[in-house]
Amino acid sequence: MQGVFIEPVSGIRGELRVPGDKSISHRAALFGGMAEGETHITDFLLGEDCLSTLSCLKGLGVEWEQKGTEVWIRGQGMDSWEEPQDVLDVGNSGTTMRLLLGVLAGSPFAATLTGDSSIRRRPMRRVGDPLREMGARILGRQGGNYAPLTIQGGTLQGKEIRTEVASAQVKSALILAGLRAQGETTVIEPVLSRDHTERMLQAFGANLVAAGPRVLVKSGKPLHGQEISVPGDISSAAFLLVLASLIKSGELIIRDVGVNPTRTGILDALRLMGADIEERDIKEISGEPRATLVVRPAPLHGVEIRGEMIPRLIDELPVFAVAACLAEGETVVRDAQELRVKESDRIRTVVEGLKALGAKIEELPDGFWIIGQKTLRGGQAQSHGDHRLAMAWAVAGMLSQEGVSLEGMEAAAVSYPNFLEDVRTVSFK
Ligand code: S3P
């Protein structure tokens, strides 16, 4: 494990672009592999998760070429996929595992998927159960809930499925299975989760109608290769938004950030706390809105976040908690029990991690309760192999009084490989 000392900084100035959106990069590669004809992706995220998707595609017989952040997927249609010769390794990537299960449910062969120790602890029955209802056979540990999972795909029957959790991974898996199921498939979520799958599949030519949390998909229409430009990842930008909001002085410009409304909960939450974040040059490319974000320091105060807002900022909650510790007054996050089944149990790891740095924070079954003190002492922190914790603790260190000695910074490579280098180019002591 890599240990680093994160020193406090006092200012930020400059302009940068964060790496490509993780959710959109996964989908562009996967749908490209299912489509007929070439898909050309620009600003693809070279994070470990998306590289896992590319390597699984290779294992399934899909050819591709990558040069820097440009990727060409040479799709020959989903029926051209081949039975993998070996176990498919998704690494740390829940999106790869769950979306692939959706495609493999309709592929007439067997495949076994596994991943790292974190992925082997994450619940998969939420995808497996509805896919079984549609006709797939899936075996795995604990009644098929944990990887390694073996899936035997085949003929699927379209169904109306109400998902128990607002999860874009579950929704996407069912939509992808629906592309090859007999009849219609309807997926209804309790609350709308990120809708990148719906937007991108429509561009690829799928027969799909999305109306809020309800998606109807019909089989029979082949997908066609596309040109996809990936916006910067708002989940990566979130670390910089918190840093630039709570630092003493300066201004940060983050170009070309995806601002899909199903992902912008962090902008709403920080603004509710009093943050000064401006959106400029809003435009839509490849079906996804993007904007330049301009952030300046501002005094933040505590807020309550719950309900429909939660899926719109679920991945940003660790760094949001850092912001809440440095704000004035009380912050409460509720309805976020999904945090318990992310790359780590992010309720427990966030609360323990911030307490160790001197924060006043308590665990709730479905969130946390924080008394912001406008300062954070600093101390020892560890990422638990969770990329978003690694970066949240780095931000905490930069905003702390004494700095943070951080173990496991390398986990950031899952979604933002050059995070520390980027922050160092724009921040100063
Ligand atoms: C993702 C969906 C979310 C999110 C994850 C990426 C996606 O997970 O936390 O980082 O790309 O569909 P859930 O679908 O489990 O909520």
User: Which residue in the block uniquely carries the two structure tokens 């040059």?
Assistant: 281
| 95, 174, 344, 414, best to mutate for ligand 1 pocket (most atoms within 8 Å of CB) | 95
Q: For every one of its 429 residues, what pLDDT tens digit does the chain have, with 9 covering 90 and above?
A: 668 999 999 999 999 999 999 999 999 999 999 999 999 999 999 999 999 999 999 999 999 999 999 999 999 999 999 999 999 999 999 999 999 999 999 999 999 999 999 999 999 999 999 999 999 999 999 999 999 999 999 999 999 999 999 999 999 999 999 999 999 999 999 999 999 999 999 999 999 999 999 999 999 999 999 999 999 999 999 999 999 999 999 999 999 999 999 999 999 999 999 999 999 999 999 999 999 999 999 999 999 999 999 999 999 999 999 999 999 999 999 999 999 999 999 999 999 999 999 999 999 999 999 999 999 999 999 999 999 999 999 999 999 999 999 999 999 999 999 999 999 999 999
Whether residues 154 and 178 share a domain: the answer is: yes
CB of residue 169 inside a 6 A radius of ligand 1: yes
| Distance between Cα 316 and ligand 1 center (Å) | 11
Whether residues 51 and 132 share a domain: the answer is: yes
Whether residues 112 and 58 share a domain: the answer is: yes
Of the candidates 92, 150, 99, the residue with the CA atom closest to the CA atom of residue 121: 92
Give the tokens for residue 25: 């990069």
| 90, 172, 314, best to mutate for ligand 1 pocket (most atoms within 8 Å of CB) | 314
The whole domain housing 210 covers 22-229
CB of residue 233 inside a 6 A radius of ligand 1: no
Where residue 211 sits, what CATH number does that domain have?
A: 3.65.10.10
Whether the Cβ atoms of residue 184 and residue 216 lie closer than 8 Å to each other: yes
Whether residues 166 and 275 share a domain: the answer is: no
User: For atom 15 of ligand 1, which residue has the closest CA?
Assistant: 167
Last residue of a domain, one of 187, 213, 229: 229
**73 Cβ contact partners less than 8 Å away, ≥ 6 residues apart:** 28, 29, 32, 33, 35, 38, 39, 41, 57, 62, 63, 64, 225
Whether residues 89 and 102 share a domain: the answer is: yes
Of the candidates 383, 382, 373, the residue with the CA atom closest to the CA atom of residue 246: 373
CA of 99, closest atom in ligand 1: 12
Whether residues 13 and 44 share a domain: the answer is: no
DSSP state of 108: S
- Global confidence as pTM: 0.98
DSSP state of 308: G
Whether residues 94 and 242 share a domain: the answer is: no
Whether residues 12 and 122 share a domain: the answer is: no
Residues noted as catalytic: 315
Q: In the chain, helix, strand, coil percent, each to 5? A: 35, 30, 30
Last residue of a domain, one of 209, 229, 249: 229
CB of residue 23 inside a 6 A radius of ligand 1: yes
| Distance between Cα 168 and ligand 1 center (Å) | 6
Whether residues 12 and 45 share a domain: the answer is: no
Give the tokens for residue 261: 């409304």
Last residue of a domain, one of 174, 195, 229: 229
Whether residues 279 and 366 share a domain: the answer is: yes
Angle between helix 48-59 and 94-104 (nearest 10) = 30
- How many structural domains are present in the chain? 2
CB of residue 314 inside a 6 A radius of ligand 1: yes
Whether residues 181 and 204 share a domain: the answer is: yes
Which backbone phi and psi does 399 adopt, to 5 degrees? -95, 0
Whether residues 214 and 107 share a domain: the answer is: yes
User: Which residue in the block uniquely carries the two structure tokens 């590319």?
Assistant: 54
